[in-house]
Amino acid sequence: MKNIIFIATLFITQFIIAQNDPTRGYKVKVGEQAPQISFSLLDGTPITNETLKDKVVVLQFTASWCSVCRKEMPHLEKEVWQRFKNDDFILIGIDLKEEPEKVKRFIDQMNVSYPIGLDIDGTNFDNFTLPNAGVTRNIVLDKKGKIIFLSRLYEEKEFKQMIQIIDLELKKT
């Protein structure tokens, strides 16, 4: 019982610290160019900063074991992907440190249709975040690869703000 209380206390403490951290676990900032990314989608398609140019991009870091990710993904599918997928837009879920077969099962369970990439060793995640940062992150890039929005966890108000930013960015010429 003491172990359970200790683990719960540790989790709650880390959550509170993360919520009060102004960086929210990011080492990048809005207004900066996105760091180098390089990964493949589940179908083998390679993705780099170059392949994302001329599109508004949402990079969603996720994992099958993440309950907040599971809560957010249906909203990303319905409110973001289905709304913007026919524009100069791409939403890519990037699964963190899991093998392709596990990721395929996860995606089937979540019933999402947006592309999913693999960050098997966590390099891409580490390019954006501080050490030991938690998953459930959305990074929005403009058509030139500049970071225009960063989110952490799933909060409805922040999620709606992200949608507004995507919409405004897509209306720019």
Structure tokens of 90? 């791409």
Q: For residues 103 and 106, what is the distance between their CA atoms, to the nearest angstrom? A: 5
Give per-residue pLDDT as tens, 105-143: 999 999 999 999 999 999 999 999 988 888 889 999 999
Note the pTM of the prediction, 2 decimals: 0.85
Q: What tokens were used for 53?
A: 């140019």
pLDDT tens digits along 26-72: 999 999 999 999 999 999 999 999 999 999 999 999 999 999 999 99
